[in-house]
Copies of this chain bind each other. A is one copy, B any other.
Amino acid sequence: MTDATILTELRAILGDGGLLTAAADRAPYESGARYDRGQAAFVARPKSTAEVSKTVATCMRHGIALIPQSGNTGVVAGSTPDASGTQAILSLDRLTAPFALDRANRSVTAGAGLRLSELNRRLAADRLFFPIDLGADPRLGGMIATNTGGSRFLRYGDVRRNTLGLTVVLADRDGTVLDLSGGLRKNNTGPDWKQLFIGTSGSFGVVTECVLNLEPLPQQTAAALLVPAAEQSVPDLLVAMEQALGSYLSAFEGMSKNAMAAALAHVPSLRNPFAGGAIPDFAILAEVSRSWPPRDGEQPLSAVLEEVLAALLDRGTLSDALVGRAEEMWALRHALSEGVRQSGKLIAFDLSFRRGDIMRFSTHMKAEMAQRFPGITICDFGHVGDGGVHFNLVVSKSDPRATDPAFEQALRDWVFQVAVEEFGGSFSAEHAIGRRNQGMYARYTEAELRRLAAQFKAATSPGPLGAVEL
């Protein structure tokens, strides 16, 4: 139980609805989107940077650990408290102001608690958007803390690339506010401090406001499902399409047969787009887009795509290509995650590689899995264009190994070892660390970098902040 005088102090800062202490009120904040569940001492819901600063200062002076929580859509237990009941949640869900669109600068200044969908809804009339495309609907602060990437990374990059400024509160006795919010596109007057708070799971400070780069909203889109002639030719296919389509290319997503079959089996609204219903071993969803409306004299985008694909079919790089409605193709792509989750016990990895290594890793794992862990289904898919792989393993619910934690641990350790040590990959491409990846951070981060991280943490936010120990 938190001391009543502390709660009184916080209530004076946060006002009505700003402090939740009852179990029923806390509950929605205590469970994460997928695996995690904890217990919070209380939930603080500041509405401004100034309130965050005062809340943090109060908690740090009293030694209360704070877990910043944004949209709570992450999957690595980065935004929920542990089971101790001593950690408190600092929720950004009321910190949705300011909202200031700067059309000339093509940027927006927004509160870190604003939802991605709400941001884009407000920008649509100006034909602008924040170009991070995700299945979930997070709030901005969490997107920054995890440096999310998503499906259009190939064209627009990640949150890091699109962040022009931040306001951050440090976990010290003063709740020091760092104003890094200039919104300048070019500025080299010292270390680029905002980088420190992007992708570090809220350990170095709480992001309260941000200045984001915006992009012209696509006005024309065409998409195709591609069947490569051979899985090993996928990197060549990517290079060829980049050379032929340049900045038109806005997505290049890979889908394994098992992942597509799971989606088609478990998501009834989907239509099987393949001729005769025969799902290929591997397919690519390629999307092209333009940010202007169709113009007289301009070749339609679907015709451009068809012409490029015809050449790739001729050359034998592709064995099939279906140009069709983008919505239908994305519906299949977006259903993969749900389909895989419903087909058994899911053991999921968010890996990344150099782009040329993705299919090599996949081939290697298919062979090795059959030997070492027979009967486990690989349902991988991912962002081939940027090297990301959602490497999903499914254990049949009727298999006793589905409920064996030692088995899962052995399997996880082995996959990480192959991905990181043998293929030079990342154990967390776009989900960041969280408590779930804490062990991998300790295992795969050089001692020198862990030493630096600890010193940087002490220099910025010496108090107990965040679910992760860097």
Q: List CB contacts (< 8 Å) of A375-433 with chain B.
A: 383, 386-388, 424-433
Known A356-B104, A387-B186, A428-B189; judge A178-B460 contact (CB<8 A): no
Map CB proximity to B onto A292-308 as digits: 1 under 8 Å, 0 otherwise. 10010111000110010
| B182 near A106: Cβ-Cβ < 8 Å | no
User: Interface residue tally of chain A, by bracket?
Assistant: 35 or more
Residues facing B in A422-451 (CB within 8 A) are 424-433, 437, 440-441, 444-446, 448-449
Q: Is A257 an interface residue (CB 8 A)?
A: no
Segment from A87-95, A237-245, A272-280, A361-369 that makes contact with B = A237-245
Name, among A191, A295, A299, A426, the residue most crowded by chain B CB atoms within 10 Å (CB to CB).
Answer: A191
* 8 A Cβ contacts from A298-349 to B: 298-299, 303-304, 307
Residues of chain B lying within 8 A (CB to CB) of residue A441:
189-190
Among the listed B183, B184, B242, B444, which residue makes an inter-chain contact with A106, where contact means beta carbons less than 8 Å apart? B242
> Would you call B191 and A425 a contact (CB within 8 A)?
no
Task: Tell whether, in the assembled complex, residue A426 and residue B356 are in contact, meaning their CB atoms are under 8 Å apart.
Answer: no
Give the distance in Å from the alpha carbon of A240 to the alpha carbon of B427 in the complex: 42
CB distance from A351 to the nearest CB of B (A): 9
Give complex CA distance A383, B291 in Å. Answer: 22
Q: Which residues of B contact A158 (CB under 8 A)?
A: 186
* Known contacts A104-B355, A184-B387, A456-B459; A189/B445 CB under 8 A: yes
> Can you pick out 24 interface pairs between chain A and chain B where the beta carbons lie within 8 Å of each other?
A104-B236, A104-B356, A106-B242, A106-B355, A157-B161, A160-B192, A178-B449, A179-B446, A184-B426, A186-B383, A188-B199, A189-B444, A191-B200, A191-B452, A191-B453, A192-B198, A192-B199, A216-B246, A246-B291, A247-B248, A297-B303, A297-B307, A456-B456, A459-B459
